[in-house]
């Protein structure tokens, strides 16, 4: 953190303590004018200020209402920042980010979700106090590449461990990262998880292995979606081929991801499946 960023962080903390939302917003606007990235604003300005607010509450220097107001101000500023920074092109990797059951401390997890999102990840952010059973069920259905969990309360630790054990039983178990005040190095014993406390470090670690989705993989996603919709409509490949004026062998090759497909052909197929092409492509993108 350089001198300029330190000054912004000091101002942000002072205005948080005052509960002055407009002044806090001015600090963030100044950070944007200085060209700070979202990661720097989150990790060098907002995060240390929020940590200090928590310490002030523990020391009895501010009350719960003041601490809650500071949290709401920060969440409002984070929402504003999400609208400012344009995300990178999706690279095909998906993450689930959640706060542990019984834990209402959401800012750290929101930072992780936002930073992954602007770096091209498809992110499902589940928010605070996610029941472990529901988390496991959601991850089973979504099959994300990564699950990032925030754990700030000691009473949440055993619940998170149970959830991780269940997720490790999946045939294609995701990479799991945990962080938060309640996590210590002993947490990783026998759980095959990574402990990373910094939101920016989590993103940097995950981005090291990011590879853009290949054309072959994209064609497979298109084919799988066509096959799903065709079967949902109770159509055979021949019936779909007849409806869109294409050859059945072409439809078969497309469904198996072995055929390049033009926009014109995709338009015919989506029409025969009774779905607008833009809606069809959105469904494909949601599976990336």
Per residue in 159-213, pLDDT tens? 999 999 999 999 888 999 999 888 877 776 677 888 887 777 887 787 776 555 6
Q: What is the pLDDT of residue 205?
A: 80
Beta bridge partners of 147: 96, 176
Question: What does the block give as tokens for 130?
Answer: 């996610």
Q: What is the pLDDT of residue 163?
A: 96
Using an 8 Å Cβ cutoff, are 265 and 246 in contact? yes
pLDDT in tens, 29-42: 999 999 999 999 99
- The residue-averaged pLDDT of 118-140 equals 96
Every domain of the chain and the residues it spans: 3-84, 94-207, 215-285
Top pLDDT among 140 and 1 is at 140
pLDDT in tens, 63-82: 999 999 999 999 999 999 99
Hunting for tokens 């065709």 — which residue is that? 230
Please state, rounded to an integer, the average pLDDT across all residues of the chain. Answer: 90
Residue 155 has pLDDT above 80, yes or no: yes
Residue 115 has pLDDT above 80, yes or no: yes
Q: What are the distances in angstroms from CA 179 to CA 48, 58, 136, 176? A: 16, 21, 18, 10
Question: What does the block give as tokens for 249?
Answer: 């062998």
Q: What is the pLDDT of residue 7?
A: 94
Top pLDDT among 287 and 283 is at 283
Q: What is the pLDDT of residue 201?
A: 80
CATH topology of domain 215-285: 434 Repressor (Amino-terminal Domain) (1.10.260)
- Please report the DSSP string for 218-277 in residue order: HHHHHHHHHHHHHHHTT--HHHHHHHHT--HHHHHHHHTT-S---HHHHHHHHHHTTS-H
The class of domain 3-84 in CATH terms is mainly alpha
Q: What's the CA gap between 78 and 115, in Å, rounded? A: 11
Using an 8 Å Cβ cutoff, are 280 and 270 in contact? yes
Beta bridge partners of 122: 94
% of the chain beyond a pLDDT of 70: 95
Q: What is the pLDDT of residue 196?
A: 82
Using an 8 Å Cβ cutoff, are 288 and 122 in contact? yes
Q: What's the CA gap between 103 and 146, in Å, rounded? A: 20
Q: What is the pLDDT of residue 183?
A: 85
Q: What is the pLDDT of residue 213?
A: 63
Torsion sign across C-alpha atoms 86, 90, 91, 93: positive
Q: What is the pLDDT of residue 253?
A: 93
Using an 8 Å Cβ cutoff, are 106 and 100 in contact? no
Domain boundaries 94-207, corresponding CATH code: 3.40.50.280
Q: What is the pLDDT of residue 282?
A: 76
Contacts for 190 with CB less than 8 Å, ≥ 6 apart: none
Top pLDDT among 135 and 283 is at 135
pLDDT in tens, 213-257: 677 888 888 999 999 999 999 999 999 999 999 999 999 999 999
Q: What is the pLDDT of residue 232?
A: 92
% of the chain beyond a pLDDT of 90: 72
CA angle 168, 90, 284 (to 5 degrees): 80
**H/E element, 38:** helix 38-40
């Amino acid at each position: 953190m350089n001198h300029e960023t330190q000054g912004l962080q000091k101002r942000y903390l002072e205005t948080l303590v005052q509960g002055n939302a407009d002044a806090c917003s001015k600090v963030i606007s100044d950070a944007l004018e200085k060209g700070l990235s979202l990661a720097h604003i989150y990790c060098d300005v907002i995060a240390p200020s929020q940590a200090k607010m928590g310490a002030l509450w523990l020391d009895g220097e501010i009350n719960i209402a003041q601490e809650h107001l500071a949290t709401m101000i920060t969440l409002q500023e984070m929402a504003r920042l999400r609208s400012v920074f344009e995300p990178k092109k999706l690279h095909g990797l998906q993450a689930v980010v959640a706060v542990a059951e019984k834990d209402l401390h959401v800012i750290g997890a929101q930072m992780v979700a936002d930073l992954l999102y602007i770096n091209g990840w498809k992110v499902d952010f589940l928010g605070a106090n996610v029941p472990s059973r529901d988390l496991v069920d959601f991850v089973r259905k979504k099959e994300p590449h990564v699950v990032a969990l925030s754990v700030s309360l000691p009473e949440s630790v055993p619940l998170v461990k149970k959830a991780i054990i269940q997720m490790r039983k999946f045939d294609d178990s995701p990479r799991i990262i945990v962080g938060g005040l309640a996590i210590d190095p002993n947490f990783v014993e026998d759980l095959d998880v990574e402990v990373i406390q910094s939101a920016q470090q989590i993103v940097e670690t995950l981005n090291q292995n990011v590879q853009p989705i290949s054309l072959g993989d994209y064609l497979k996603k298109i084919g799988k979606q066509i096959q799903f919709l065709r079967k949902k409509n109770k159509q055979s490949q021949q019936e779909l081929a007849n409806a869109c004026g294409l050859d059945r062998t072409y439809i078969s090759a497309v469904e198996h991801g072995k055929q390049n497909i033009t926009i014109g052909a995709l338009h015919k197929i989506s029409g025969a499946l009774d779905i607008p092409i833009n809606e069809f492509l959105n469904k494909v993108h949601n599976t990336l």
